[in-house]
């Protein structure tokens, strides 16, 4: 027996949906539908209202509704079943991990992301020291060398820096670490870019950062679990301190341009 339509859907007014500060109409409809599902009002197996009904309730075109539903499908929240319409998936209420933070214009936001890295990178390095294979170690060493090559070529080294830390996450032997690294890379990337821009203005720190990276690699190579953990923790801690001590002009000029 098919589930009834979910007719109690609460939606924002047309005026609210047309607030461009909250994103496009498709963005806003998607957010409203996600919130409705997350609230538990739409149970797994229940149908969403039909496209015409949603169009009328939100005061938007059916094209916008189709786009929003397509996004929900991509997120694994709903599926289209023959004869049943758009149905809420099992597990749709399991909250996905997200980072609700814009790192592009605030030292406070950048520091929060960098601090978040500390625990992740510390445990990843410790596990890598314990579990790495010769192939893993070679990949970490090559990634370390790639940073130097990029810097010597006048590049910012951001991608190479990310690759170095990603290679460590792969050496943990736990596939969740690379997956988590890939997820937060979008936030880490901006933090690393800003950090490296600061380091470019202060050449005396370039060697220090290189030595910190090498210390992490050396401890992993030596299978020094606690040493690797502490080297990684120290590296991220020092990155935080370097950001805190950056010349205020850095945040007014290069930092703002990066944002």
Condensed to tens digits (0 to 9), the pLDDT of residues 215-227 reads: 999 999 999 999 9
* Residue 172 structure tokens: 């943990």
Identify the DSSP state of 48: P
Burial of 106 by CB count in 10 Å (0-12 exposed, 13-18 middle, 19+ buried)?
Answer: middle
Q: Same fold for the domain at 14-88 and the one at 107-258?
A: no
The reported pLDDT for the residue numbered 15 is: 39
Higher pLDDT, 82 or 233: 233
The reported pLDDT for the residue numbered 75 is: 79
Domain range list for the chain: 14-88, 107-258
Three-state secondary-structure class, residue 13? coil
Q: Is the pLDDT of residue 124 over 90?
A: yes
pLDDT digits (tens, 9 = 90+) for 165-174: 999 999 999 9
Residue 89 neighbours by CB under 8 Å, 6+ apart: 44, 76, 77, 78, 79
pLDDT digits (tens, 9 = 90+) for 161-216: 999 999 999 999 999 999 888 887 777 776 677 666 665 555 667 788 899 999 99
Phi-psi bin for 196: left (phi > 0), alpha (psi -120 to 50), beta?
alpha
For residues 122 and 236, give the distance between their C-alpha atoms in angstroms, rounded to a whole number: 9
State which CATH number among 3.20.20.150, 3.80.30.20, 2.40.50.100, 1.20.120.530 fits the domain covering 107-258: 1.20.120.530
For residues 164 and 121, give the distance between their C-alpha atoms in angstroms, rounded to a whole number: 11
Span 14-88: which CATH code?
Answer: 1.10.10.10
Candidates 20, 26, 81; CA nearest to 48 is 81
Q: What is the mean pLDDT of the chain?
A: 80
Q: Is the pLDDT of residue 258 over 70?
A: no
Residues in the chain: 259
Phi-psi bin for 223: left (phi > 0), alpha (psi -120 to 50), beta?
left
Q: Is the pLDDT of residue 1 over 50?
A: no
For residues 76 and 89, give the distance between their C-alpha atoms in angstroms, rounded to a whole number: 7
DSSP tally for the chain: helices H, then strands E: 12, 2
170 in Cβ contact with 133 (< 8 Å): no
């Amino acid at each position: 027996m098919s589930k009834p339509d979910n007719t109690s859907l609460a939606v924002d007014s047309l005026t609210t949906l047309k607030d461009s500060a909250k994103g496009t109409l498709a963005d806003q409809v998607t957010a409203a539908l996600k919130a409705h599902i997350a609230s538990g009002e739409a149970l797994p197996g229940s149908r969403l209202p039909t496209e015409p009904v949603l169009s009328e309730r939100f005061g938007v075109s059916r094209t916008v509704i189709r786009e929003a539903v397509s996004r929900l499908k991509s997120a694994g929240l709903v599926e289209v079943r023959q004869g049943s319409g758009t149905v809420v998936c099992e597990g749709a209420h399991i909250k996905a991990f997200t980072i609700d933070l814009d790192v592009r214009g605030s030292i406070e936001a950048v520091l929060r992301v960098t601090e978040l890295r500390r625990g992740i990178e510390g445990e990843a390095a410790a596990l890598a020291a314990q579990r790495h294979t010769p192939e893993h170690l070679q990949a970490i060493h090559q990634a370390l060398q790639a940073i130097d090559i990029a810097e010597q070529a006048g590049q910012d080294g951001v991608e190479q820096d990310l690759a170095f830390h990603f290679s460590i996450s792969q050496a943990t032997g736990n596939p969740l670490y690379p997956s988590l690294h890939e997820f937060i890379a979008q936030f880490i990337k901006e933090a690393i870019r800003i950090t490296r821009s600061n380091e470019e203005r202060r050449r005396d720190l370039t060697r220090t950062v290189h030595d910190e990276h090498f210390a992490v690699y050396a401890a992993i190579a030596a299978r020094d679990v606690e040493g690797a953990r502490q080297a990684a923790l120290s590296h991220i801690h020092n990155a935080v301190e370097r950001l805190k001590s950056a010349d205020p002009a850095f945040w007014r000029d290069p930092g703002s341009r990066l944002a």
